[in-house]
Structure 1
C-alpha cells in the first residue's frame, strides 16, 4: 500500500512530493479480484463485531510476489513479516482506501514513474495503466517488465533487480539534473542579495564600514526569490 499512501498524501497536499517512483502500486482494485458488492455489505455488517477474525480468503502473497525461490524462502523465514490471512477490519480498510484512491486518479498532477511486472498476480498491471492514463501529470512514465512478478526490487533474480534499479536511478538522475539547472538559473547574485538585505553583506572590494564591528549572528536569514528552491542565504 506504499503507492496508495503516497497518492493520498499527494491528494491532501499536491506540493508534498516533488515526484514519485511507484513500484507495482495498489491504487485500484482490479475487476478480476474485486469482491461482489453483496459480500462487502455482509462483511461490513459484522466488522465491528468480529474485526480481528481472519475470515477473508486470500492466496499466499509470498508465493505470488517473489519469483526467485531462494529469496522467497528468506522472506518466509522472516518472523517480522505477517504471513497469515488479513483480519476482517484490515481487509475492509484496504478495500475502502483503494476505492478512494481510484476515484481520485485524475487529480494526480506530480511527476511519477510507474514500474510493474507484466506477470504480477498480486496487483494487476492494468491498475498501473489506469493511473497512467487518468493522471493529469504532464511528466509521467510507465514501464512494464515482461515476465516479472510483483517483487520487482527484492523478489526477482539479481539481473532483473539490477535492471529495475537502473531504470529508477536513470529517471531520478535525469530530473535531478534538470532541477539543479533550474536552481542555478534562478539563484540571486550576491550583489542583488546585498541590495535586498539593506547593504549589510558588503562586497569584498567595498570600503570598510565606519560602524563598529558587530558580533556575527549565530544563524542566517533568507533573502532573494520566493520559494524553497530559490532562496539564497546571507549572513550578517
Structure 2
C-alpha cells in the first residue's frame, strides 16, 4: 500500500513527489516551476551516486530563465527505492527517464523538452536521445560518461571486471575520491556531508553494467541529430575528456558545440565560482538561442 511505502530515509512516499516505475519501484521526484509561463521543459539527469537535489543551483538558474525543471533520483539513488548502485541492466535508468518524460509530455504537450545530463546521466541521455529522437529537442552534457578514465580503462581491468561480475558481483572496487569532483573545497565538503549521496564502494557488478552500456556506444552516437552542447574539464579524472571529443565527432547533429575548460575537474557546475559563472552563462545563451524570447 502507498501509505506504507517508505523512502530509504524513512519518509512516507505519499507525502513526496514520486512515480512508480515498471518494476514497482517508487522513484522520488523534484519539480522546479517558474513563476511565469514556462518556455520549455528541462530534465536534469544526474550521475552515479548523487541525486536530483544535487542540482539545486542549476535548477534555480534555469527557473530564472522561465524554464520548468524536473528530475528524479534514479532507482537505487537518493530517496528512490532500490539497492544502492545495484541494477541488473543499464537500460532501466533509460526506461525510467523516458517514463518521466512521457508524464511531462502529457502535462505540457506544447513545450519542447531539453535534457541536462551529467556524468553517468550523460550516458543515460545518449540512450534516451537514440530511443526517442522526436521527443528531445536538444541536450546539454556536462562531463558525460562516454569513455572511462585511463586507469579504469586498462584492458586487464576491464577483462577482470567482466569476468568477476559472474563470480563475485558484490566485490568492492574501492571508493571514489571526492577530491576528484571539484577544486572548490566547499563543494567537496558538501558531498561528504550529504546523506543522500552514496559514499560506499562501487561493486564489480555495477561496474560491469556500466561497461556493457559503453560497449557499442559508437553505434548510437551517429543517431543523435538534435542540438547538443558538450562541456568538459580537461583535468577530469572520472570521465575521460576523450569521450567528449569522440561524442562531438560522431553525433551527426549540425548544431553541436564542445567547450573544454582548462584545469577543471568533473563537476563543472560545482567548480570554482568563476567557472560556474561561465558554465551557467554558456547554458543560458545556448538555450535562449533555441527558444522563444525571455519576457523580462
Query: Taking structure 1 as the reference length, what is the TM-score of the superposition?
Result: 0.67
Shift of 1:111: 0.7
Q: Conserved in 1, the CA contact under 8 Å of 2:223 and 2:251?
A: yes
Look up the match of 1:126: 242
CA distance in 1, matches of 2:164, 2:235: 35
1:174-213 to structure 2, matched below 5 A, reads: 174-177=289-292
1:4-83 to structure 2, matched below 5 A, reads: 4-29=123-148, 33-36=152-155, 38-54=156-172, 56-57=173-174, 59-60=176-177, 62-83=178-199
CA distance in 2, matches of 1:73, 1:149: 15
Shift in CA distance, 73/31, structure 1 to aligned 2, threshold 3 Å:
closer
Look up the match of 1:113: 229
CA distance in 2, matches of 1:23, 1:168: 10
Q: Conserved in 2, the CA contact under 8 Å of 1:28 and 1:102?
A: no
Structure with greater strand percent: 2
Shift of 1:19: 0.3
CA distance in 2, matches of 1:46, 1:176: 48
Shift in CA distance, 85/74, structure 1 to aligned 2, threshold 3 Å:
same
Shift in CA distance, 142/45, structure 1 to aligned 2, threshold 3 Å:
closer
Shift of 1:79: 1.8
Count of aligned pairs: 174
Look up the match of 2:86: none
Equivalent position SS for 1:81? coil
**Greater gyration radius:** 1
Shift of 1:57: 4.7
Structure 1 position 158 matched with structure 2 position 277: no
CA distance in 2, matches of 1:39, 1:121: 17
Deviations 1:147-173 (A, max 9, x none): 21111002x122211110111000000
Shift of 1:44: 3.2
Q: Conserved in 1, the CA contact under 8 Å of 2:248 and 2:256?
A: yes
Q: Which runs of 5+ in 1 are unaligned?
A: 179-236
Look up the match of 1:206: none
Shift of 1:32: 5.5
Shift in CA distance, 80/145, structure 1 to aligned 2, threshold 3 Å:
same
CA distance in 2, matches of 1:126, 1:42: 23
Q: Give the RMSD, CA atoms, in angstroms.
A: 2.0
Shift of 1:45: 3.8
Shift of 1:25: 0.5
Equivalent position SS for 2:259? strand
CA distance in 2, matches of 1:52, 1:104: 30
- The counterpart of 2:208, out of the listed 92, 100, 117, is 92
CA distance in 1, matches of 2:168, 2:141: 34
Structure 1 position 149 matched with structure 2 position 265: yes
Equivalent position SS for 2:152? coil
